[in-house]
């Protein structure tokens, strides 16, 4: 059996055992996967699945890829989640793996259950959630270790809600958010997995919220503070991390997107220039702008670069790598739905960007 054939499949409990995609497996079976994964007893995969199912009442449905990673420890399984791994050489992959494991143990992952106070911490959060959060962060910062070190100088906190009820009971909106007072990302657990049921990654709510979090990060003091309206590395006070080129590119690129948005908000069809890349939603505030374009940089880099190479280069300079190398083709759902939003002719809200 080829790992590539099952990596995206959801794994769910079935009577007496598990189902991978549409197929049920017997607890006595083994999956004989191609190298380097080898043979994996189904009962071992079933044990790895249990914490997700028990905590979430079945709402959280991890892919086979993360469970295969958990039971084999083979980094290759995580290529399903992190396209950067496709372009790292062998030495860099080893480094990625070592740093991933170190990072995964270095932050607080709080599992918040319904009916329990939010300060109740469960240590038995599913291992895969911890790995995915760390992996997203490392994918962003792999080529910026100093920025990463500053980000983790103080203990960072991520809160996950295993089921929708728990998230709603906590007043959570939209399935995820960055909470500026609690200074943490809060996310409904299944949202870690929802974008990974295809051959390439899709929606990445954690990345979006990480964009918000970084916008609030003061790299000089190593603290989560008020929004900067910029990313770390774009402020003079960032010291050795300050990247003036990225700052200039960002401001120029943002101005261009804003002009396009204003143009689309105010002109008749005949007078309209190019459409903005981001959805109307991200033009409501500086923080949404950063979160939205930050996520698109890691999901539809080709369309992003084609549309606004100046803004694209700002992110590329800042993080030190070009996701186009890892993405043969964009995840283009955002691009298409954003285009539809502008073409619908619905009135656009006033931009809240500075
Ligand atoms: Zn947002």
What is the rounded CA–CA span in Å between residue 323 and residue 325? 5
pLDDT value of position 115? 65
List the Cα angle 278/298/150 in 5-degree steps: 110
Give every residue of the chain whose pLDDT is below 50, as ranges: none
Residues 6+ positions from 35 with CB-CB distance below 8 Å: none
Residues 6+ positions from 95 with CB-CB distance below 8 Å: none
What is the rounded CA–CA span in Å between residue 322 and residue 315? 9
CA of 193 relative to ligand 1 center, distance in Å: 18
CA of 172 relative to ligand 1 center, distance in Å: 13
CA of 30 relative to ligand 1 center, distance in Å: 42
pLDDT value of position 158? 92
What is the rounded CA–CA span in Å between residue 25 and residue 245? 54
pLDDT value of position 120? 61
List the Cα angle 211/216/219 in 5-degree steps: 100
pLDDT value of position 95? 98
Cα within 13 Å of Cα(87), Cβ side: 14
DSSP 8-state symbol, 63: B
Q: What separation in angstroms does the CA of 151 have from each of 90, 95, 109, 156, 295?
A: 26, 19, 16, 8, 18
CA of 348 relative to ligand 1 center, distance in Å: 18
Measured over the CA atoms of residue 213, residue 219, residue 220 and residue 222, the dihedral's sign is positive
What is the rounded CA–CA span in Å between residue 27 and residue 207? 36
Ion ligand 1 nearby residues (CB, 5 A) = 288, 291
CA of 45 relative to ligand 1 center, distance in Å: 35
Q: How far is C-alpha 302 from the chain's CA centre?
A: 18
CA of 209 relative to ligand 1 center, distance in Å: 6
What is the rounded CA–CA span in Å between residue 185 and residue 91? 32
pLDDT value of position 118? 60
CA of 231 relative to ligand 1 center, distance in Å: 15
| H helix runs in the chain, sequence order | 3-6, 42-56, 64-72, 90-104, 127-141, 145-151, 164-169, 205-215, 244-266, 286-297, 301-307, 309-319, 333-343
pLDDT value of position 341? 93
CA of 319 relative to ligand 1 center, distance in Å: 20
CA of 186 relative to ligand 1 center, distance in Å: 12
CA of 80 relative to ligand 1 center, distance in Å: 25
Residues 6+ positions from 12 with CB-CB distance below 8 Å: 18, 19, 49, 53, 58, 61
CA of 260 relative to ligand 1 center, distance in Å: 20
CA of 288 relative to ligand 1 center, distance in Å: 5
CA of 353 relative to ligand 1 center, distance in Å: 14
CA of 285 relative to ligand 1 center, distance in Å: 9
């Amino acid at each position: 059996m080829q790992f590539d054939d099952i990596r995206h499949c959801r794994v769910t409990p079935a009577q007496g055992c598990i189902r991978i995609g549409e197929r049920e497996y017997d607890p006595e079976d083994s999956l004989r996967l191609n190298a380097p994964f080898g043979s994996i007893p189904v009962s071992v995969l079933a044990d790895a699945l249990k914490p997700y199912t028990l905590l979430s009442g079945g709402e959280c449905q991890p892919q086979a890829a993360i469970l295969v990673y958990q039971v084999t420890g083979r980094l290759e399984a995580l290529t399903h989640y992190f396209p950067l791994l496709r372009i790292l050489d062998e030495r860099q992959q080893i480094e990625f793996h070592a740093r991933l494991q170190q990072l995964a143990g270095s932050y607080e992952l709080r599992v918040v259950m319904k009916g329990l106070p939010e300060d109740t911490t469960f240590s038995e959060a599913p291992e895969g959630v911890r790995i995915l959060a760390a992996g997203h962060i490392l994918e962003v910062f792999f080529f910026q270790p100093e920025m990463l070190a500053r980000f983790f100088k103080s203990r960072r906190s991520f809160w996950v809600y295993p089921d929708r009820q728990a998230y709603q009971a906590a007043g959570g909106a939209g399935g995820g958010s960055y909470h500026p007072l609690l200074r943490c990302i809060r996310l409904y657990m299944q949202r870690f997995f929802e974008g990974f049921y295809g051959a390439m990654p899709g929606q990445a709510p954690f990345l979006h919220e990480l964009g918000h979090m970084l916008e609030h990060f003061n790299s000089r003091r190593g603290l989560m503070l008020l929004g900067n309206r910029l990313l770390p590395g774009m402020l003079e006070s960032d010291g050795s991390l300050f990247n003036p080129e990225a700052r200039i590119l960002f401001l120029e690129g943002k101005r261009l997107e804003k002009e396009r948005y204003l143009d689309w908000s105010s002109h008749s069809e005949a007078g309209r220039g190019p459409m903005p890349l981001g959805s109307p939603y991200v033009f409501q505030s500086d923080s949404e702008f950063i979160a939205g374009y930050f996520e698109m940089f890691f999901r539809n880099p080709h369309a992003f670069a084609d549309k606004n190479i100046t803004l694209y280069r700002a992110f590329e300079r800042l993080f030190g790598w070009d996701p186009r190398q890892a993405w043969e083709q964009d995840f283009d759902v955002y691009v298409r739905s954003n285009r539809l939003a502008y073409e619908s002719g619905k009135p656009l809200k006033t931009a809240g960007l500075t």
